[in-house]
Structure 1
Amino acid sequence: MDTSNIPHAFVSPDTLAARIGRADAPLLLDVRREAAFAASARMLAGALRCKPEEVAALAAAGPPRDVVVYCAQGHEVSAGAVATLRAAGWHAQALAGGIEGGEDGVDSPQDLAMWRASALPSMKKRPDWGVPGAQPSRWITRERPKIDRIACPWLIRRFIDPRAEFFYVPTATVFSEAARLHAVAYDIPGAPVSHEGAWCSFDVLLRAFEIEDPALDRLARIVRGADTDDLALEPQCAGLLAFSLGLSRLHTDDHAMLEAAMPLYDALYAWCASEAVAAWQGTAAESHNWTPATMAGTRA
């Protein structure tokens, strides 16, 4: 399909990479044809599966929103999905080059090099845990969360399944409720996701989905130090511990605490991302200090 008459129909991998994992990230749809989707072990981080033939139904099912679609190589499947979504009033774009970064012998060498130079965060599919699934994945853990049991839902919502559902229950009922609700238990001994050696549940979850992101690696160290009382691991560990304990005291409802903590983790991830960029560029990380000389003004 010719998309030349659709303004801003494509988004570059660089631009999309900067938005994945953020609270204001667009809805990300994997619209690969079934054969291509089934043959691949991976999806882009935070993407939802939507078969090409189901795009129109999705567009009609909810209010229009910001969405990025991708297919295998960024050609007619993505273009068709964009046209369908835009016709329904959505602000839709396609990922240039698709998940594979274009097609050799079809796309220009310049485009191929540009698209493939940007490593978009991706995740391993885990159908055994309901990712991706026709319904939102379900996760369950002990009540009264502090750190890991909040950090893990943040990671799942932002990078694994934005529709995910979370349950907090008494410790003694975690596994029976997990069976009843068809939910994945986490952060309790014997669960599919729990502490392993020095790793906390956040580390294990990150590795179970094989998500590679320097900013998430830094955040994982902060979470690990705060959750295991190894506060010397990163300077920010003590701060995360203090905020987490304070939030627990402010909120008696576990889901209310999760919602209150989401912006905290968003901000911490944004800081980790900026630190990773500074390290990659070899520039000084941002700091803050008191510089009265730059604040000169006229006193009233």
Structure 2
Amino acid sequence: MDTALPSISRSELASRLGRPGAPLLLDVRRRERFAASGHLLAGARYCAPEEVAALAASQPPGEAIAYCVYGHNVSEDAVRTLRAAGWDARLLAGGFEGGEPGVDAAADVEAWRAVPLPRIRKRPDLGVAGEAASRWVTRARPKVERVACPWLIRRFIDARAEFHYVPAEQVFAQARVLEAVPYDVPDAPITHAWEKGSFDALLAAFELEDPALHALATIVRAADTDRMKLAPQAAGLLAISLGLSHLNAGDDHAMLEAAMPIYDALYAWCRDASGETHRWQAHQLVVTA
């Protein structure tokens, strides 16, 4: 790895994935290596090495993290190109695989591979292969899962995804017109299966193994199926969701935007704060001598 180039550690990247304001994560593996792989890092966008300059010029400069297979020449060249175009670009130490044994120092490879990063399985059948924005369609007037699923897709699967809300009887027809994936409706590829919900189905379909996401899935499932005993937080999520639906009646995309910070906060709680408690003790007994 070129130590003159700025890099990001795997632990720092892991702490930022799925958060609002996360950097643009660019998979710049050579085409043949990318095609041979069934996975990419969660939330990553594919950009062939020869297309990095065009991407850098196509939008205002921002923060970006580039990775190739092992974190060597390909991602280094991508970072140089991005930085020359004014981007705050860094390369991921160790790349997709966590270093190359026999090339990188053994201690570095061991350290990199000790910090696994969440990956998603490519699903071309669901419009998610890393190269183009996916499209999704479901019933209008979302409350819980039809908002929770877009949050999950935006934060961990495809930040560029498009979402459409249509009358229930038009979902499959509009899916064909829009070339979109129907979800959270019966017989859709992503929907409820027995006691599990559509959020659970997305986690399974993309092989996302983040413990905090699975904890959040339980809260979403409980709120969406009126099984509050599964998670005490579900009652609050349901109340907030119903309130947001009333505040944004007639504008489903406004409902989605208003709810995004709610799921950001719940995910942060599941990941980092579930052990915290509120310590104020009202009417505390005063003992006198």
d(CA) in 1 for partners of 2:281, 2:131: 55
Q: 1:271 aligns with which of 256, 269, 272?
A: 269
Give the aligned partner of residue 68 of structure 1: 65
d(CA) in 2 for partners of 1:18, 1:134: 24
Q: Which moved more, 1:192-201 or 1:124-133?
A: 124-133
RMSD: 1.2
- Tell me how far 1:130 sits from its aligned partner: 1.4
Give the aligned partner of residue 208 of structure 2: 211
Q: Which secondary structure does the structure 2 equivalent of 1:188 belong to?
A: coil
> Which stretches of structure 1, 4 residues or longer, exceed 6 Å deviation after superposition?
none
Given that residues 2 and 72 in structure 2 are in contact (C-alpha distance below 8 angstroms), is that contact kept between their aligned partners in structure 1? no
Give the aligned partner of residue 50 of structure 2: 53
- Tell me how far 1:132 sits from its aligned partner: 2.1
- Tell me how far 1:266 sits from its aligned partner: 0.3
d(CA) in 2 for partners of 1:51, 1:95: 16
Change beyond 3 A, Cα 1:133–1:116: closer
- Tell me how far 1:133 sits from its aligned partner: 5.0
Q: 2:279 aligns with which of 265, 282, 289?
A: 289
Give the aligned partner of residue 16 of structure 2: 19
- Tell me how far 1:3 sits from its aligned partner: 3.3
Q: 2:68 aligned with 1:78, yes or no?
A: no
Give the aligned partner of residue 252 of structure 2: 254
- Tell me how far 1:109 sits from its aligned partner: 1.0
Count of matched residue positions in the alignment of Structure 1 and Structure 2: 281
- Tell me how far 1:110 sits from its aligned partner: 0.9
- Tell me how far 1:291 sits from its aligned partner: 5.3
**Letter of the structure 1 residue corresponding to residue 277 of structure 2:** S
d(CA) in 2 for partners of 1:42, 1:133: 9
Given that residues 122 and 130 in structure 2 are in contact (C-alpha distance below 8 angstroms), is that contact kept between their aligned partners in structure 1? no
d(CA) in 1 for partners of 2:34, 2:131: 14
- Tell me how far 1:86 sits from its aligned partner: 0.3
Q: 2:169 aligned with 1:197, yes or no?
A: no
d(CA) in 1 for partners of 2:215, 2:102: 39
Q: 2:174 aligned with 1:177, yes or no?
A: yes
**Letter of the structure 2 residue corresponding to residue 290 of structure 1:** W
Q: 2:27 aligned with 1:38, yes or no?
A: no
Change beyond 3 A, Cα 1:157–1:43: same
**Letter of the structure 2 residue corresponding to residue 249 of structure 1:** H
- Tell me how far 1:135 sits from its aligned partner: 2.9
d(CA) in 2 for partners of 1:137, 1:19: 23
d(CA) in 2 for partners of 1:95, 1:134: 20
Q: Which secondary structure does the structure 2 equivalent of 1:97 belong to?
A: coil
Give the aligned partner of residue 118 of structure 2: 121
Q: 2:140 aligns with which of 134, 140, 143?
A: 143
Give the aligned partner of residue 238 of structure 1: 235
Q: Which secondary structure does the structure 2 equivalent of 1:245 belong to?
A: helix
Q: Which secondary structure does the structure 1 equivalent of 2:230 belong to?
A: coil
d(CA) in 1 for partners of 2:211, 2:278: 23
d(CA) in 2 for partners of 1:113, 1:23: 30
User: Could you list the per-position Cα deviations for residues 209-240 of structure 1 after superposition, in whole angstroms to 9, with x for gaps in the alignment?
Assistant: 00000000100000000000000101101010
Q: What's the TM-score once normalised by structure 2's chain length?
A: 0.95
- Tell me how far 1:128 sits from its aligned partner: 1.2
d(CA) in 2 for partners of 1:75, 1:49: 17
Give the aligned partner of residue 99 of structure 1: 96
d(CA) in 2 for partners of 1:136, 1:97: 27
Given that residues 25 and 43 in structure 2 are in contact (C-alpha distance below 8 angstroms), is that contact kept between their aligned partners in structure 1? yes
Q: Which secondary structure does the structure 1 equivalent of 2:51 belong to?
A: helix
d(CA) in 2 for partners of 1:219, 1:40: 28
Unaligned runs of 5+ in 2: 283-289
Q: Which moved more, 1:193-202 or 1:130-139?
A: 130-139
Give the aligned partner of residue 295 of structure 1: none
Unaligned runs of 5+ in 1: 277-284, 293-300
User: Could you list the per-position Cα deviations for residues 238-269 of structure 1 after superposition, in whole angstroms to 9, with x for gaps in the alignment?
Assistant: 01000000000100200000000000000000
Given that residues 199 and 220 in structure 2 are in contact (C-alpha distance below 8 angstroms), is that contact kept between their aligned partners in structure 1? yes
Give the aligned partner of residue 3 of structure 1: 2
Q: Which secondary structure does the structure 2 equivalent of 1:166 belong to?
A: strand
Q: What's the TM-score once normalised by structure 1's chain length?
A: 0.92
- Tell me how far 1:31 sits from its aligned partner: 0.3
Give the aligned partner of residue 287 of structure 2: none
